[in-house]
Structures are given as structure tokens and as C-alpha cells.
């Protein structure tokens, strides 16, 4: 029973993480660096939801789509303004990470300067508590889970079954060969950064509605997202989804048997342990 | 005046940390994103030994540094031979683990309520904060001098070889893994020693001190100043912490309503500076110094170069 509870709670809690990990992995796979500024796709997704839902007064469910799209547009804009020129200049992978930390700071603290550091709340739709056998969940959680599974499924299908996915995999594996075979790297990159931004935005909307919207919300999940991505193997979107689910279930399980704060400690230590075996060797 | 000395002392700690990071990243190429973790282990290790177990300050700092060195050794053993991105994530994770443990282990660290008081050494002296400041100046000067010496030594050249091409260095028969691990352990222990030295400055320790922003402040300073230059850390910390935290926050006439936004504005500027420097001058303001950038030895080498080469 404990295990089933952990799986169920873990899935509900991990749903934003699954999307974030998949989006993060897409960029990591395509451009070969860990984009810390992806945290801001998540944060801005939630703040766009605040804009549409609270400021403009749209219904929560109708606000999801524009928030997601805006987050995707922001992601493409950042790519065009900063990351593409940097990649063209031949900045190395570690320097790209430092650069993305800088971008993340700029976006996050720029956001705080504009909207203020206060925590905000989304106007949630009517929440009702449903019982499913011995387990309980709110309708919102179930809808979120459904949407996440749907989005994750679409992403998965797109990467492994469509032309865009094939182009992306081609570019990631051998950039020159892909270009020689007529793949337009700009178009593919824009599409991937847009999709990754949308996934991050959706993730942010759900983390925001489950708790609250803060300027640090993306930052708080980026560490777990990074570890999930590395452990899953470079650029395996399949692996990222599985690792995110496992991480969610593991956290829920440890939280049920010990104090919640220890769950994070154990999870991070477990990740460091796994890195020992899964991280690519240097020499 | 006391506050200015506190700020300047803290700035020296930052310079020291950035200098050690210069050895780790600028010379050896280890991307340590857990600076605050090792520093914090030293800070809280010293605090716990001093407050809870009444160990005098100096032995407490030494013990905490040794503890941090052991932690660094275990981490190095686990991930140091993995890719840079794995090291980066693992060190970041370790720092998160340490800051969480400081909150959970209340009986040792006081949890969120805090831990105190830790006073300056030598109670018989007057104006101890000034004496301590001078002590920190000496520590930082030794660190800078030491890392410049290291760069010109055989070991330093080996570290630079590891950074540039580890396989090549290993193929020349160098024990690259061992050298890297030893460098990492020693520099992390020194970071912890600096953490221990921070304890009397803060006097009262709270988990907030272990926020990851310290890691990024040190990184930004180093990258800005020049990660592979012996004076990069110094210049970088002057240009970030010195300019924003000391000059602007203390002396700029900012109205009170805007004053609360000032730290956010500072971090926004740090981000902007970091982006500009990586885009337009990736080697930092000072660029790179040391033997590596010198031209190939000419047939008739200059006397100065001959001495340095030997």
C-alpha cells in the first residue's frame, strides 16, 4: 500500500518535473550544453499565467495555452539574442553553462525589478476532491496529470516519429553531415527551442497552481532537472521522462517514510552515486 | 566604520574563494559549482565545534577544513573523472545537500534559529575586527602569491596540461586522476578554511548564509576578472562585490523605497556583465597570464625566460 501511495503521489507531484526534464533535455541534446536559463522558461510560464489569469481575468484553463506559447516565444527570443551568437562564436560547453547562469540571473532579477519579489497566486478553478478507491486527488491534479501525459506523449511522438525529430537527432549527432543533407539548422533550432520553452511554461503553470508563483520557482527545480537529464543519458528524451518519474516516486516514497527534507538529501546523494556510473568519462 | 571593515573583510573572503576557484577551474578545468557547500562546511563545522563543543577557534577551523577535505575526497573519487557537466551538477547537488542538512540537524546547528556567538580570537586585543581584517589580508595575499607560484611550477604546468587535454597528459605518463583529485581536495579544504575564518565575521550563523548565490557571486567575479589570470579573482571581486555591495549599497544616495530592490538590481547587473563578458571577452578582463601564452622559445632565449623555464 505504501508503495502504491508513493507511486500515485509521486506521479502527481512529478508531473511538472517530467515536462521540465523533457524540455531541458531537448536543448541539451540539440546544442550540447545545459541551459540553466531554462529555469526561467518555467518561471515565466507561471508569470504569463498570472498575466492572463489574474490581470486579464481569463479562466484558468483557457489561460494555460497562451501562457505556454508566450513562454515558447521567450525561449526562442533568448536563443536568438544570446545563445545562437554565443554558439557561433565557439563558446565551450562549460562557458555556455556559465553564460546561461548569467542569462538566468538577468531574466529572473529583471522580472523581480518589474513585478516585485512578492509571491503571487493564480485564481484556481473550482477544486473538488475525488476519491479513487483508497487514494484521493483533486480534479486539478488529475487534469494536470492528464495534460502532462498528453504533452509528454506528443513530445515523444514528435521526437521519435516525425521529420522534425529526425532533423533534430541528425543535427545533434553530426551537425555538418545534417547540414550537408539539406537540414536547415536555424528552422530546426527555432522549433526545438520553442517546443522546449512551451514545455517549461506548462510545467511552470502547473507548479504555480499547485502552490504559489514565485520568481525562484524555476530555479528550485532546475537542479533536479539537471541531474535527471544527466543521469538519463545525454539527450535521451525517453530516459529523461523515465528518470523524472522515478525521481518523483522516489521523493514521494522517502517523504512518506521519513521527514520531507531528508527526501531531497537522499535523492541528491543517490543522483551523485548514479553519476559515478552514468556520467561520461573524460580520461 | 565597523560595518565598512566587516564588508571589506567579507570581500577578502570572496577574493580568497575566487582565487581557489581560479586554481580549480582556471588552471585545472574542474567546474566546481559547489563553492558555497565547501565554504559552508567550514563555516558551520567551525561554528558547531566552537559553540557546541567549545573547541578554540583555530583548531576548530583546522578540523572543519579536514572534514571538508574528506568530503571533497569522496566526491572527487565518485565524479571527478566524469565529464565537466557531471562534475558541475554533482558539486551543485552537494552544496544543496549541505545547506539542507544544516536546516535538518537542529541539535547540532541550531537549524533555522541560528548558531552563535562566535567571537574574534585574542580577546585581550583592542579593535579586534581591524586586527582580524589585517590577518585576512595576509591570508589572501598568501593565496594569490601561492597560486601564482603554483602556476609556474611543474605541478602547475601539469594542471594546465590536464585542463587543455587530459588524455594527452595521461598518455605522457602523468597520473592525471591523482593530481586532479589532490588539487581538488586541497583547494576545497582551503575553501572550508576560509569558511571557518568567516565564522567570527558573521558571529551568528543562519542557514541563509549557505544560499547558492555565493557560488554564483564567486563564479561571476572570477569569470569577469579573468579565470586563468592570477589577479583575475582580485580584480573580479573588486568590480562586482567591491563596486556593488560596498560602494553602491553603502554610499549611493538611493531612496528607501528603491533600496529594497537594490540587491535584485545588483544581481541583474551581475547577469548582464556575465553575458557580455562571455560573449565579447571570454578570457575575462585580464585575459590569461603565465607560461602558456608565451611564444615558443626562440633559438636564443631571453635571460628572463630562461630563468622562468628552469
Tens digit of each residue's pLDDT (9 = 90 or more) over A183-220:
888 888 898 899 999 999 999 998 888 888 888 888 88
- B282 contacts A91? CB cut-off 8 A: yes
Q: Which three-class secondary structure state does DSSP give residue B295? A: coil
Q: Does residue B198 contact residue B258 with C-beta atoms inside 8 Å?
A: no
ipTM score over 0.90, yes or no = no
Interface contacts A/B by beta carbons within 8 Å = 148
Q: What is the pLDDT of residue A226?
A: 83
Could you say which of B81, B88, B97 has the minimum Cβ distance to residue A269? B97
| B249/B189 Cα distance (integer angstroms) | 32
C-alpha cell read off for A154: 506528443
B281 vs A contacts (CB less than 8 Å): none
Confidence of residue B182 (pLDDT cuts 50, 70, 90): very high
Q: What is the pLDDT of residue B144?
A: 95
Among the listed residues B32, B46, B41, the one whose alpha carbon sits nearest the alpha carbon of residue B117: B46
Greatest C-alpha distance within chain A: 58
Task: Give the helix/strand (H/E) hosting B217.
Answer: helix B213-225
Q: What is the pLDDT of residue B198?
A: 93
pLDDT digit string, tens, across residues B149-168: 998 888 988 898 888 888 88
Q: What is the pLDDT of residue A194?
A: 93
Q: What is the pLDDT of residue B309?
A: 44
Mean pLDDT of A120-125: 81
Q: Does residue B305 contact residue A112 with C-beta atoms inside 8 Å?
A: no
| A41/A56 Cα distance (integer angstroms) | 21
Instruction: Spell B200-225 as b/e; 16+ CB within 10 A means b.
Output: bbbeebbbebbebebbbbbbbbbbbb
B75 vs A contacts (CB less than 8 Å): 272
Q: What is the pLDDT of residue A283?
A: 36
C-alpha cell read off for A231: 543521469
Check pLDDT > 90 for residue B72. Answer: yes
B271 vs A contacts (CB less than 8 Å): 101-109
| B199/B119 Cα distance (integer angstroms) | 8
User: Do β-strands A129-132 and A135-138 pair in parallel, antiparallel, or remain unpaired?
Assistant: antiparallel
- A102 contacts B264? CB cut-off 8 A: no
Mean pLDDT of B209-236: 89
Q: What is the pLDDT of residue B82?
A: 84
pLDDT above 70 covers a percentage of chain A that reads 93
Minimum mean pLDDT range among A19-23, A133-137, B85-89, B128-132: A133-137
Check pLDDT > 80 for residue A255. Answer: no
Among the listed residues B161, A73, B242, A90, the one whose alpha carbon sits nearest the alpha carbon of residue A99: A90
Cis, bond preceding B117 (omega within 30 deg of 0): yes
| B51/B56 Cα distance (integer angstroms) | 9
B170 vs A contacts (CB less than 8 Å): 283
B169 vs A contacts (CB less than 8 Å): 283
Mean pLDDT of A249-270: 76
Average pLDDT of chain B is 86
A230 vs B contacts (CB less than 8 Å): 85-86, 89
Q: What is the pLDDT of residue B46?
A: 94
Mean pLDDT of B18-34: 93
Mean pLDDT of B270-294: 78
| B259/B257 Cα distance (integer angstroms) | 6
- B270 contacts A105? CB cut-off 8 A: yes
Q: What residue in A sits closest to B97 (Cα-Cα)?
A: A265
Check pLDDT > 70 for residue B113. Answer: yes
Q: What is the pLDDT of residue B250?
A: 73
Structure-model confidence comparison of residues A43 and A29, the more confident one: A43
| B270/B224 Cα distance (integer angstroms) | 9
- Count Cβ atoms below 10 Å from residue A277 Cβ, excluding itself: 9
Mean pLDDT of B88-115: 87
Q: What are phi and psi of B116, to 5 degrees?
A: -170, 180
Mean pLDDT of A111-117: 88
Q: What is the pLDDT of residue B180?
A: 92
Q: Does residue B203 contact residue B91 with C-beta atoms inside 8 Å?
A: no
Q: Which three-class secondary structure state does DSSP give residue A85? A: helix
Mean pLDDT of A172-184: 83
Average pLDDT of chain A is 83
A78 Cβ partners below 8 Å, 6+ apart? A37, A40, A103, A107, A193
How many angstroms separate the CA of residue B9 from the nearest CA in chain A?
26
Could you say which of B83, B176, B282 has the minimum Cβ distance to residue A280? B83
A239 Cβ partners below 8 Å, 6+ apart? A25, A231, A232, A233
Structure-model confidence comparison of residues B116 and B293, the more confident one: B116
Angle subtended at Cα B120 by Cα B114 and Cα B124, rounded to the nearest 5 degrees: 140
Check pLDDT > 70 for residue B202. Answer: yes
How many angstroms separate the CA of residue B80 from the nearest CA in chain A?
9
Q: What is the pLDDT of residue A66?
A: 93
Could you say which of A85, A101, A109 has the minimum Cβ distance to residue B274? A101
Check pLDDT > 60 for residue A235. Answer: no
Q: What is the pLDDT of residue A280?
A: 55
Q: Does residue A46 contact residue A207 with C-beta atoms inside 8 Å?
A: yes
- B282 contacts A282? CB cut-off 8 A: no
Helix ranges, chain A (H):
2-31, 38-50, 60-78, 84-88, 93-115, 139-161, 163-173, 175-180, 185-210, 217-232, 237-257, 260-278
- Lookup result for grid cell 586554481: B23
Q: Which three-class secondary structure state does DSSP give residue B244? A: helix
Amino acid at each position: 500500500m505504501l508503495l502504491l501511495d508513493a507511486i500515485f503521489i509521486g506521479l502527481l507531484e512529478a508531473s511538472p518535473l517530467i515536462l521540465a526534464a523533457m524540455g531541458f533535455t531537448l536543448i541539451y541534446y540539440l546544442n550540447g550544453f545545459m541551459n540553466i536559463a531554462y529555469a526561467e522558461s518555467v518561471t515565466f510560464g507561471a508569470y504569463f499565467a498570472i498575466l492572463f489569469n489574474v490581470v486579464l481575468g481569463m479562466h484558468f484553463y483557457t489561460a494555460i495555452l497562451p501562457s505556454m506559447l508566450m513562454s515558447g516565444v521567450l525561449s526562442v527570443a533568448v536563443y536568438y539574442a544570446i545563445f545562437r551568437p554565443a554558439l557561433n562564436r565557439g563558446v565551450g560547453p562549460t562557458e555556455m553553462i556559465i553564460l546561461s547562469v548569467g542569462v538566468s540571473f538577468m531574466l529572473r532579477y529583471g522580472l523581480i525589478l518589474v513585478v516585485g519579489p512578492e509571491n503571487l497566486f493564480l485564481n484556481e478553478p473550482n477544486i473538488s476532491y475525488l476519491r479513487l478507491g483508497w487514494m484521493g486527488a483533486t480534479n486539478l491534479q488529475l487534469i494536470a496529470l492528464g495534460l502532462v501525459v498528453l504533452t509528454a506523449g506528443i513530445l515523444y511522438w514528435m521526437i521519435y516519429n516525425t521529420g522534425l525529430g529526425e532533423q533534430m537527432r541528425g543535427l545533434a549527432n553530426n551537425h555538418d553531415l545534417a547540414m550537408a543533407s539539406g537540414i536547415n539548422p536555424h528552422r530546426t533550432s527555432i522549433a526545438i527551442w520553442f517546443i522546449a520553452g512551451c514545455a517549461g511554461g506548462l510545467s511552470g503553470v502547473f507548479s504555480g497552481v499547485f502552490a504559489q508563483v514565485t520568481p525562484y520557482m524555476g530555479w528550485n527545480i532546475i537542479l533536479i532537472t539537471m541531474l535527471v537529464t544527466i543521469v538519463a543519458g545525454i539527450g535521451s528524451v525517453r530516459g529523461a521522462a523515465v528518470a523524472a518519474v522515478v525521481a518523483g516516486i522516489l521523493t514521494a516514497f522517502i517523504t512518506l517514510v521519513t521527514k520531507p527534507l531528508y527526501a531531497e538529501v537522499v535523492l541528491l546523494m543517490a543522483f551523485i552515486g548514479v553519476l559515478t556510473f552514468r556520467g561520461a568519462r573524460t580520461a | 566604520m565597523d560595518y565598512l571593515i566587516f564588508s571589506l573583510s567579507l570581500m577578502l573572503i570572496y577574493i580568497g574563494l575566487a582565487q581557489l576557484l581560479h586554481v580549480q577551474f582556471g588552471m585545472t578545468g574542474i567546474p566546481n559549482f559547489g563553492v558555497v557547500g565547501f565554504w559552508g562546511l567550514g563555516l558551520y563545522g567551525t561554528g558547531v565545534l566552537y559553540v557546541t563543543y567549545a573547541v578554540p577557534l583555530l583548531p576548530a577551523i583546522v578540523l572543519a577544513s579536514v572534514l571538508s577535505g574528506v568530503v571533497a575526497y569522496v566526491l572527487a573519487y565518485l565524479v571527478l573523472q566524469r565529464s565537466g557537466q557531471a562534475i558541475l551538477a554533482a558539486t551543485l547537488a552537494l552544496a544543496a545537500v549541505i545547506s539542507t542538512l544544516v536546516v535538518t540537524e537542529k541539535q547540532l546547528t541550531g537549524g533555522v534559529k541560528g548558531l552563535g556567538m562566535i567571537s574574534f580570537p585574542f580577546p585581550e586585543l583592542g579593535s579586534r575586527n581591524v586586527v582580524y581584517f589585517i590577518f585576512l589580508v595576509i591570508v589572501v595575499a598568501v593565496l594569490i602569491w601561492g597560486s601564482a607560484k603554483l602556476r609556474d611550477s611543474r605541478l602547475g604546468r601539469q594542471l594546465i596540461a590536464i585542463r587543455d587535454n587530459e588524455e594527452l597528459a595521461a598518455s605522457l605518463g602523468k597520473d592525471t586522476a591523482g593530481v586532479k583529485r589532490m588539487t581538488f581536495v586541497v583547494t576545497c579544504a582551503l575553501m572550508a578554511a576560509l569558511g571557518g575564518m568567516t565564522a567570527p565575521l558573521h558571529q551568528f550563523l543562519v542557514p541563509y548564509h549557505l544560499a547558492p548565490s555565493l557560488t554564483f557571486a564567486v563564479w561571476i567575479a572570477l569569470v569577469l576578472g579573468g579565470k586563468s589570470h592570477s589577479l583575475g579573482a582580485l580584480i573580479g571581486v573588486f568590480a562586482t562585490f567591491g563596486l556593488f555591495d560596498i560602494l553602491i549599497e553603502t554610499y549611493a544616495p538611493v531612496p528607501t523605497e528603491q533600496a529594497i530592490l537594490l540587491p535584485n538590481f545588483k544581481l541583474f547587473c551581475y547577469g548582464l556583465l556575465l553575458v557580455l563578458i562571455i560573449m565579447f571577452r571570454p578570457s575575462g578582463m585580464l585575459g590569461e597570464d603565465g607560461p602558456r601564452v608565451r611564444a615558443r622559445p626562440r633559438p636564443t632565449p631571453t635571460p628572463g625566460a630562461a630563468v622562468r623555464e628552469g
